[in-house]
Structure 1
Amino acid sequence: MPSPRFRAMFKRPSLESFRRRLASVDALPQLCVLGVLSGVLTGGLMVGFRGLLELGALAFMPGGDPEAFERLAGPVRVVLPLMAVGLIGVWLWRMPNGAGKIGIGHVIERLTYHQGKMPLRNWMTQWWVGLVALLGGLSAGREGPAIHLGAAASSWIGQTMRLPHNSLRVLVGCGTAAGIAASFNTPIAGVIFAMEVVMMEYTITGFMPVILASTTGAVVSQLVYGSQPAFSVPSVQLASLFDLPWIAVTALLIGLVAGAFVRLAKPATWQTRWPVWGRFLAVGLAVGAVAWWYPQVQGMGYDSLERMLVGEPALDVLIVVALGKLALTALAIAFGVPVSIIGPILVAGAAFGTLCGLLWATLLPGLASSPVVFSLLGMAAMMGAVLQAPLAALMALLELTHNSSILLPGMLAVVIAVLVSRQGYHCSGFFISTLDSQGLHPLQRPLMQALSRVAVPAVMERSVARAPRILTRAQAQELLAGKPTWLVITREDGKPPVGLKAAGLARLMLDEQWQDETRFDLLEIPGQRVDMAPIALQATLSEAFEQLNKQGVDVLYVEHTTAPLIRKISGIITRDAIENYYRYK
């Protein structure tokens, strides 16, 4: 017969043990399993989103191409954005306050203030707004919807399984990375974007599941759409090192434009005085007016980007795409139309880089690199400067070009653009700036960031016993036979329980002066008692720390729901336990 220890090693793991393992900071195998699940789900959602986009395009777009705005008649191009803002406005008007927040900024907000819990209403809004904005010809991208849909669906996995909140944070990062990977077919850039822009931290525990999620999401997308990236990029290289000074100048200009874009996208006081319908109408009219002559500003713009990379588009088109697409996107954000910005800033950055490349070729004919080189560098520089995410921009550049030689000038361009926008405009990144303007501060303190990686079950004292206020000697002896460390005294007046060190009751039972006592009032006997406040079993240590400070206590009792309206106390967590964990672990 196998020994009990041998049987325990191969015992089928339960969901409860899975949750308990996830509560600690080193639950890497369990998080990797969740990363794969997140990648499969997010990849499938992105295939579905793109399928709905193509299905909608079949109704009115030439050839069923959702990017074929140039082939539409002028009046149709003008009417489409007006219809889009109308449909979006009606949807948001029917939604309660807060349900209209979508996109990457919403994901960061929920991760910072709500431990990664994503509301269903906002998720449904993202489907509607994402599809209508793209099909309606607004200047928007599909990356914001991809990240929101993936992050929320991944968080749903954790919420459905009632996993600790520290694992919800990792799941949100997994959904973000898988969304970028499935949208661009750039799994490495997806990982870096998730860690640099959304999670804002680099840990091995976070990296591994995020890498698996990004890889899985890309594989699911490739099974349907192939292994090609979102747009075709020709093979290019730097002609000579003489290009580097002009690359620096180009990056400086892009940094200035990127900072202006972030500032323009912030709602101003005069804008908020407009009625909502007036702001939405202004956005629709602005897009329609420009699209009458230049439809290249509509939609994602990846078709325009491909033309920049394989040919020589007209100079006026480049100028309008470089400045007009940025202005229209910033106007939409500032006026409350929730569109995604990543696609537009990539296209506008490429157009700006192409303009600089053409000018350099005119100044230095025969020696300058191809304008396509500057297109790619402009794309990466604009992304890095607007998002303040240099590593994500460089990884996107590398994966889109499959050319490591482009990284040398790419690093120069990205660093200069990021520095100029950061120092010239005090830009801390588009999404952080947007949340700051709403009075939210997504950058966590190092202490709270470290505590958010661990859940309460990893630290709590499990040796507890519930006790009524009044006990007989026999009941007290039976209670102490379980050798609890703490007694949680429940009160009939509805007030929170009180904690009592079990050692106090044990000493009292042995004291000769109390030998004749047959009943004990646990709120009156000598002993170390503490006021307590509740904390959920799924909570992180950062939530517990905030609850301790909010309630003004030093001990929390940990509870979870075992059945409807039935809550069980699972343990005790003290301020000292949290501080010791942070100090020594």
Structure 2
Amino acid sequence: MGIFTALAALLLKVLIHWIQNFLTENFDTTEANYLYLVYPVVGIFLSGVFVRHIVKDDISHGVTRILYAISRRQGRIKRHNTWTSILASSITIGFGGSVGAEAPIVLTGSAIGSNLGSMFKMEHRTLMLLVGCGAAGAVAGIFKAPIAGLVFTLEVLMIDLTMSSLLPLLISAVTAATVSYITTGTDAMFKFHLDEAFELTRIPYVIMLGIFCGLVSLYFTRAMNSVEGVFGKLQTPYKKLALGGVMLSVLIFLFPPLYGEGYDTIELLLNGTTNEEWYSVMNNSL
């Protein structure tokens, strides 16, 4: 499981970076790039056509779909989810869609585990374990973080597992992270170093940061639900695509760091020390 999910994560990252580099490699970061007004609309349109006319199924909200499959479908996830989320999300993100690759790859990994279990006619508990192994391997493969994959599966998916089931989850996560290290190098996704030792006097600031981040996440969740409610009232799918694409394009044109998954921007924020590096983060933002 770990090998399959790591290769799926690698394919997703390669497709995203290839599309993004192909479209933006000649951009001048010192000037306004008006193609930012075009690319996100094109990406959302292509993804919408792909989902509506080829997939013919809703593949949004990847984690929610996994939870639904676990609670209502005995862990069985449709076969097309092993590849459709990779293709649709790579188009969306590569063309500038300001979303992460986590949910698509988690759905893909869980779908791989579910369909492998169905193929070999595994019992229900074993199939559920394979779904969890797929999710753990997917997170570990995309972030090179096996413990994160294990914790995500236990805390978010909340699969009813015994203590003995933790070992397969950990093996899947470690295997996926190892494959990612072999194929993409040993550098961590977010590299940073501490110049000073941590002091106990900083604990109150850490607590305040945690509270603030929790409030921001709550705001983000409620804002997203509100926007989805507004878009849900639009009857024509192409109206949703047009409105969403135009709004996203304008935001990315005004704030280019919003383009794509944003991991490069986060890394520059963690390590940027010179004015040139900070300017490259802002990329001529207003």
Specify whether residues 288 and 212 from structure 1 end up closer, same or farther in structure 2 by C-alpha distance, changes over 3 A only.
same
Q: Residues 293-304 of structure 1: matches in 2 within 5 Å?
A: 293-304=254-265
Structure-2 separation of matches of 1:178 and 1:236: 33
Specify whether residues 269 and 104 from structure 1 end up closer, same or farther in structure 2 by C-alpha distance, changes over 3 A only.
closer
Structure-2 separation of matches of 1:219 and 1:80: 35
Deviation string 1:275-295 (CA, Å, 9 cap, x unpaired) is 322222222222211222321
Q: Residues 321-400 of structure 1: matches in 2 within 5 Å?
A: none
TM-score (norm 2): 0.86
Deviation string 1:12-55 (CA, Å, 9 cap, x unpaired) is xxxxxxxxxxxxxxxxxxxxxxxxxx112112222222233344
Paired AA for residue 11 in structure 2? G
Q: How many angstroms does 1:269 deviate by?
A: 4.6
The answer on 1:120 being equivalent to 2:79 is yes
Bigger fraction of residues in helix: 2
Specify whether residues 297 and 51 from structure 1 end up closer, same or farther in structure 2 by C-alpha distance, changes over 3 A only.
closer
Q: Is the 8 A contact 1:62 1:71 kept in 2?
A: no
Q: Residues 368-517 of structure 1: matches in 2 within 5 Å?
A: none
Paired AA for residue 212 in structure 1? I
Residue 291 (structure 1) aligns with: 252
Bigger fraction of residues in strand: 1
Q: How many angstroms does 1:131 deviate by?
A: 0.5
1:182 maps to which of 141, 145, 152: 141
Structure-2 separation of matches of 1:176 and 1:211: 11
What is the DSSP-based 3-state SS (H/G/I as helix, E as strand, rest coil) of the residue aligned with 1:229? coil
Q: How many angstroms does 1:97 deviate by?
A: 6.1
2:238 maps to which of 277, 298, 302: 277
Structure-2 separation of matches of 1:228 and 1:270: 42
1:46 maps to which of 2, 6, 9: 9
Structure-1 separation of matches of 2:51 and 2:220: 25
Structure-2 separation of matches of 1:56 and 1:212: 32
Q: Is the 8 A contact 1:69 1:137 kept in 2?
A: no
In terms of Rg, which structure is larger?
A: 1
Over the matched positions of the two proteins, sequence identity in percent amounts to: 24
The answer on 1:206 being equivalent to 2:169 is no
Count of residue pairs brought into register by the alignment: 276
Structure-2 separation of matches of 1:73 and 1:96: 36
What is the DSSP-based 3-state SS (H/G/I as helix, E as strand, rest coil) of the residue aligned with 2:122? coil
Residue 553 (structure 1) aligns with: none
Specify whether residues 52 and 256 from structure 1 end up closer, same or farther in structure 2 by C-alpha distance, changes over 3 A only.
closer
Deviation string 1:179-221 (CA, Å, 9 cap, x unpaired) is 1111111011111111111134453132110001001111111
Structure-1 separation of matches of 2:28 and 2:172: 34
1:157 maps to which of 116, 124, 141: 116
Residue 491 (structure 1) aligns with: none
2:267 maps to which of 296, 299, 306: 306
* Bigger RCO (CA 8 Å, 6+ sep): 2
Listed as ranges, the gaps of 5+ residues in structure 2 are none
Structure-2 separation of matches of 1:174 and 1:120: 17
Structure-1 separation of matches of 2:127 and 2:28: 40
Structure-2 separation of matches of 1:246 and 1:71: 36
Paired AA for residue 232 in structure 2? T
Q: How many angstroms does 1:252 deviate by?
A: 2.3
Residue 439 (structure 1) aligns with: none
Specify whether residues 203 and 70 from structure 1 end up closer, same or farther in structure 2 by C-alpha distance, changes over 3 A only.
farther
Specify whether residues 99 and 286 from structure 1 end up closer, same or farther in structure 2 by C-alpha distance, changes over 3 A only.
closer
Structure-2 separation of matches of 1:228 and 1:69: 28
Structure-2 separation of matches of 1:96 and 1:224: 30
Q: Is the 8 A contact 2:139 2:148 kept in 1?
A: yes
Specify whether residues 282 and 308 from structure 1 end up closer, same or farther in structure 2 by C-alpha distance, changes over 3 A only.
same
Structure-2 separation of matches of 1:71 and 1:137: 19
What is the DSSP-based 3-state SS (H/G/I as helix, E as strand, rest coil) of the residue aligned with 2:200? coil
TM-score (norm 1): 0.44
Q: Is the 8 A contact 1:181 1:215 kept in 2?
A: yes
Structure-1 separation of matches of 2:91 and 2:119: 29
Structure-2 separation of matches of 1:292 and 1:96: 30
Residue 353 (structure 1) aligns with: none
Listed as ranges, the gaps of 5+ residues in structure 1 are 1-37, 321-585
Structure-2 separation of matches of 1:288 and 1:82: 7
Q: Is the 8 A contact 2:128 2:159 kept in 1?
A: no
What is the DSSP-based 3-state SS (H/G/I as helix, E as strand, rest coil) of the residue aligned with 1:266? helix
Please identify runs of 4+ aligned residues in structure 1 that moved more than 6 A: none
Paired AA for residue 120 in structure 2? M
Paired AA for residue 83 in structure 1? V
Q: Residues 227-306 of structure 1: matches in 2 within 5 Å?
A: 227-237=186-196, 240-267=199-226, 269-274=229-234, 275-306=236-267
Q: How many angstroms does 1:102 deviate by?
A: 5.2
Structure-2 separation of matches of 1:187 and 1:279: 37
Residue 135 (structure 1) aligns with: 94
Residue 128 (structure 2) aligns with: 169
Specify whether residues 284 and 151 from structure 1 end up closer, same or farther in structure 2 by C-alpha distance, changes over 3 A only.
same
Deviation string 1:271-325 (CA, Å, 9 cap, x unpaired) is 32213222222222222112223210111111111121112547x95xx9xxxxx
Structure-2 separation of matches of 1:108 and 1:236: 42
Specify whether residues 71 and 301 from structure 1 end up closer, same or farther in structure 2 by C-alpha distance, changes over 3 A only.
farther
2:104 maps to which of 145, 153, 174: 145
The answer on 1:60 being equivalent to 2:19 is no
Residue 393 (structure 1) aligns with: none
